[in-house]
Structures are given as C-alpha cells and as structure tokens.
Amino acid sequence: MEILKTIDLYIKDKAMPFLLIGGHAVNSYGLRRQTGDLGLLVKRSAKTQWIELMNRLKYSVHQSDDNFAKFPSDSLTN
C-alpha cells in the first residue's frame, strides 16, 4: 500500500511509532477485506505530529477528540 510507504519515509528518524489496524491489518494476514480507509493506532502524545503529517499528505481532519481522529483523503473525496 503506497500510503504506508509514504508514511514510512516521513517518519524515519522520528519518534512516531504506529500500529496498523482495521481492514488493511486483516489484509496483511492474507485475508481479504475491502476497505478504503487507513486505520493507525498512535500514541496520544504524538497525536499533534500525526495530524500535521496527515495534513501534509492531503488527509484532512474529519473527526477528532482525545482518543480518536479520522482523516479522509482529500484526493478520494474530490
């Protein structure tokens, strides 16, 4: 998945670990699940960094609170 390769390039040498969750995590185990979103579990302390990164990658904040943020791709919604 290209977005994960791009994210990996941006976070190299930064303290921004993440865990892939949701449909793409299921797909990585060889099971097929169609999904259009990307689920990442990140540290709350790094949330601001992730919001900035996702904005740079043309994903805008659609929903956000202390424990959750949703970023639809601008390129997929236009």
Task: Name which of 46, 40, 34, 33 is nearest 6 in CA terms.
Answer: 40
Q: How far is CA 59 from the centre of its chain?
A: 9
CATH architecture, range 2-77: 2-Layer Sandwich (3.30)
* Residue ranges in the chain whose pLDDT is less than 70: 74-78
> Quick one: pLDDT at residue 74?
65
Q: Look at residue 50 in the predicted model and tell me its pLDDT.
A: 93
Rounded distance between C-alpha atoms, residue 40 and residue 21, angstroms: 6
pTM of the model: 0.76
Domain residue ranges of the chain, discontinuous segments joined by +: 2-77
